[in-house]
């Protein structure tokens, strides 16, 4: 279990006389969950109060991390790795949280026309292995052979996944099948934790798991409550400006998918981790796609799906969902906001 590191930043807010107690801004950071960094930011009357809340967030996220892990086993726990290990062998009885995630991901698979596919694991594993070796030894970095990718793609039909809700079991009927929920699990877990906290009366908190951001309400201010300000990373590594823009949110999620993370280089060309299910190669339409909507799980799923879709198809998809705003950055550097994205803009640098 990773050690929780608390960074207490003493930014006291002066409350109006007689209106509410003085609160202080606190920030907690911890590593290891979902293979990324988690940050919790909130306002509390005491360090102890915030510490207890941050610990609760960590414990709940740890549960989801273990359930949705495809790389590690945990004693006494059937997780997604267990399902993958039993592909073509037998159904696996799992916790309701896994059933719920897989049902949600399957719904997004059909909604996005396959642009978000958690059964794409066989292809993603090949890219993951080649990327890991290329990072460890750049001199021998290679692109996966086309034949290897095409063979793996034969086992990526999500329609084959069998979910028995009554028995709480999941079965992958083909030995070559493999689930990979990296495009949706972080956001989905963050949303589940956020809703639990809201039900328990938490009205102001900011959660970030590897850049999957979910705001509970706004942030306290001496004059009331104000929106949280979230910076959107500039995907251009040569730009002197680190942030593309800043957005304001209350009770919403902001999730970005970009070509600037988890990549490796072969013969001077970068190969990032978001793989187009049609071409089986890194998606080439955009360098960044940012989604703003209420549900962090939906935002996570859509940011990947939209990264894999041509612009016009992506716009059609968003129009059919509602309550979703998007910022696309094309491979050529053009920045394209959806019609309502401007309502959230605090500052833009394009």
Pair 58, 38: CB distance under 8 Å: yes
Residue 18 pLDDT > 90: no
Is 16's pLDDT higher than 50? Answer: no
pLDDT band at 8 (very low <50, low <70, confident <90, very high): very low
What pLDDT score does 22 carry? Answer: 78
Centroid of chain to Cα 342: 23
User: 3-state class of 59 per DSSP?
Assistant: helix
Q: In the prediction, which pLDDT does 152 show? A: 98
Which residues neighbour 9 within 8 Å (Cβ) at sequence distance 6 or greater?
A: 25, 26, 27
CB distance 246 to 224 below 8 Å: no
pLDDT at 23: 86
Q: Which CATH architecture group holds 80-171? A: Orthogonal Bundle (1.10)
Q: How deeply is 294 buried, as exposed, middle or buried, from its count of CB atoms within 10 A (0-12, 13-18, 19+)?
A: middle
Q: Which two tokens stand for residue 17?
A: 């006389």
State residue 254's pLDDT score: 98
Confidence at residue 20, expressed as pLDDT on a 0 to 100 scale:
52
pLDDT at res. 208 = 97
Q: What pTM was estimated for this model as a whole? A: 0.92
Q: Report residue 9 as tokens.
A: 């930043």
- Which of 328, 332, 321, 322 lies closest to 306 in space, CA to CA? 328
88, 172 Cβ separation under 8 angstroms: yes
Three-class secondary structure of residue 278 per DSSP = coil
Over residues 17-23, the mean pLDDT reads 57
User: pLDDT value at position 261?
Assistant: 84
Query: Mind listing the pLDDT tens digit for each residue in 283-304?
Result: 999 999 999 999 999 999 999 9
What's the pLDDT tens digit per position in 161-220?
Answer: 999 999 999 999 999 999 999 999 999 999 999 999 999 999 999 999 998 999 999 999
The pLDDT tens digits for 49-83 are: 999 999 999 999 999 999 999 999 999 999 999 99
Token pair, residue 286, equals 């955009």
Return d(Cα 350, Cα 340) in angstroms, integer: 17
Contact 105/184 with Cβ under 8 angstroms?
yes
- Rounded mean pLDDT, 146-152: 98
Domain parsing of the chain, residue ranges: 1-68+181-212, 80-171, 227-350
pLDDT at 11: 37
Other beta carbons within 10 angstroms of residue 189's beta carbon come to 29
Q: Mean pLDDT lowest for which of 15-19, 86-90, 189-193, 278-282?
A: 15-19
Q: What is the pLDDT of residue 21?
A: 59
pLDDT in tens, 322-331: 999 999 999 9
HSE of 260, CA atoms in CB hemisphere, 13 A: 17
Closest by CA position to 287, among listed 252, 238, 230: 238
How many DSSP H helices and E strands does the chain contain? 8, 19
Assess whether pLDDT exceeds 90 at residue 150.
Answer: yes
Instruction: Write out pLDDT tens, residues 95-122.
Output: 999 999 999 999 999 999 999 999 999 9
Q: Domain 227-350 has what CATH class?
A: alpha beta
What is residue 211's predicted lDDT score, i.e. its pLDDT? 81
The total of other beta-carbon atoms located within 10 Å of residue 263's CB is 17
């Amino acid at each position: 279990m990773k050690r929780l590191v608390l960074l207490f930043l003493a930014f006291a807010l002066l409350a109006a006389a007689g209106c509410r107690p003085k609160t202080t801004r606190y920030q907690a950071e911890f590593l290891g969950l979902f293979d990324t960094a988690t940050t919790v930011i909130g306002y509390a009357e005491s360090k102890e109060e915030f510490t207890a809340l941050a610990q609760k967030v960590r414990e709940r996220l740890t549960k989801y991390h273990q359930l949705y892990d495809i790389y590690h086993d945990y004693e006494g726990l059937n997780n997604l790795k267990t399902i993958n290990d039993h592909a073509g062998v037998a159904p696996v009885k799992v916790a309701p949280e896994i059933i719920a995630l897989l049902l949600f991901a399957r719904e997004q698979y059909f909604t996005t026309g396959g642009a978000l596919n958690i059964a794409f694991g066989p292809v993603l594993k090949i890219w993951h292995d080649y990327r890991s070796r290329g990072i460890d030894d750049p001199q021998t970095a290679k692109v996966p052979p086309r034949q290897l990718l095409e063979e793996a793609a034969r086992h990526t039909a999500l329609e084959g996944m069998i979910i028995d809700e009554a028995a709480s079991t999941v079965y992958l009927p083909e030995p070559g099948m493999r689930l990979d929920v990296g495009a949706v699990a972080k956001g989905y877990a963050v949303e589940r934790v956020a809703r639990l906290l809201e039900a328990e009366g938490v009205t102001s908190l900011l959660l970030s798991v590897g850049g999957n951001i979910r705001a509970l309400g706004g942030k306290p201010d001496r004059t009331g409550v104000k929106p949280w300000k979230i910076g959107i990373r500039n995907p251009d590594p040569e730009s002197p400006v680190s942030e593309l823009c800043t957005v304001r949110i209350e009770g919403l999620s902001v999730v970005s998918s970009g070509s600037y993370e988890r990549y490796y280089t072969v013969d001077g060309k970068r190969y990032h981790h978001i793989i187009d299910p049609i071409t089986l190669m890194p998606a080439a339409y955009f360098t960044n796609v940012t989604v703003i909507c209420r549900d962090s799980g939906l935002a996570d799923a859509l940011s990947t799906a939209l990264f894999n879709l041509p612009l016009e198809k992506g716009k059609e998809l968003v129009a059919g969902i509602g309550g979703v705003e998007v910022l696309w950055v094309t491979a050529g550097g053009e920045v394209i906001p959806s019609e309502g994205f401007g309502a959230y803009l605090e500052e833009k640098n394009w």
